Amino acid sequence: MSRITSRFSALSTAAEVLEGHSLHGKNIIVTGATTGIGVATARALAQAGANVVLAVRRLDAGIAIAREINAALGVERAAAEQLDLASFASIRKFVAGWGNRPLHVLINNAGVMATPLGYTEDNLEMQIGTNHFGHYLLTMLLTPSLIVAAPSRVLVLTSGAHHLNDVDFSDLHYRTRRYNPLAAYGQSKAANCLFALGFAPRFIDRGITINMVMPGAVITELGAGHVTQETFAAMGELGWLMSAFLVRSKRWIKGHRIRCGRQSRQSSKE
């Protein structure tokens, strides 16, 4: 396996990554694009000419962001549609609304982090239910649209937190074991990685490339209200690093994701 390299660095911005590239005519879905790097990613893609759908739980917030993007561009390139990844019914409704439109890039950005114990509408532990199972179902249901648009891409947002915990297949949803919010988050991120590794060889010959993207640590609303410095302290060295680098700019982070979304190299073959 050869290492993928590029001329970009950790400080590269989305504008630098997109320079000289046009995404006109490309249909892109970004989940969780009402806050943080989801918004920054959607905005940069629309600026490059893509038709971007903000797949969001809070539709009113998504509509406001889409209007803001369109107003800045002076053209309608962004739209918001409702999607609750903690509800299989909502996911199926979203995909039904998508119909047979080709999909060039799916960015699985949305997620929850270190939440108190809770369960999705389908009785799955909230973090793995939202971060993994919700995106899993969404991706698989949209795969026909990705095949139609091939060569196409799926981006899976990962985290260094996958080192915190393996996937416990004997008790995925904490029915019997003691709940630890950080361990549960780590499990959900490990599941994201396993999904990408499983998806890649199955669909590369159908023209779909999947990338796992680790964005680094950045100040966003993820974990707002329940993730504290004590939370990071409990993560040990990884938590210290995340806390130390929280001052990184969103425009740097989104550059990594934009590069994965627009580059033509079929890294899943490596």
Q: How far apart are the first and last CA of the chain?
A: 5
Weakest mean pLDDT among 126-140, 151-165, 187-201: 151-165
Residue-level pLDDT at 176? 97
* Model confidence band, residue 234 (pLDDT cutoffs 50, 70, 90): low
Residue-level pLDDT at 14? 82
Q: Which of 119, 136, 179, 185 is catalytic?
A: 185
Longest dimension (CA), the chain: 54
Q: How confident is the model over 70-77, as a mean pLDDT? A: 98
> For residue 98, what is the enclosing H or E element?
helix 88-98
Give 156's DSSP letter.
E
* Model confidence band, residue 236 (pLDDT cutoffs 50, 70, 90): low
Where in the chain are the domains?
A: 14-263
* Model confidence band, residue 58 (pLDDT cutoffs 50, 70, 90): very high
Contact 124, 174 (CB under 8 A): no
pTM of the model: 0.83
CB atoms within 10 A of CB 245: 13
Contacts of 178 (CB under 8 A, 6+ apart): none
* Model confidence band, residue 158 (pLDDT cutoffs 50, 70, 90): confident
Residue-level pLDDT at 6? 80
* Model confidence band, residue 246 (pLDDT cutoffs 50, 70, 90): very low
Which residues in 167-250 belong to E strands, given as ranges?
208-213
Mean residue pLDDT across the chain:
85
Q: How confident is the model over 18-39, as a mean pLDDT? A: 94
Residue-level pLDDT at 255? 55
166 against 254, higher pLDDT: 166
Q: How confident is the model over 20-31, as a mean pLDDT? A: 96
Does residue 248 surpass a pLDDT of 50?
A: no
* Model confidence band, residue 173 (pLDDT cutoffs 50, 70, 90): very high
Contact 12, 24 (CB under 8 A): no
10 against 144, higher pLDDT: 144
CB atoms within 10 A of CB 78: 28
Q: Which CATH entry fits the domain spanning 14-263: 1.10.10.60, 3.50.50.60, 3.30.460.40, 3.40.50.720?
A: 3.40.50.720
Say whether 185 is catalytic: yes
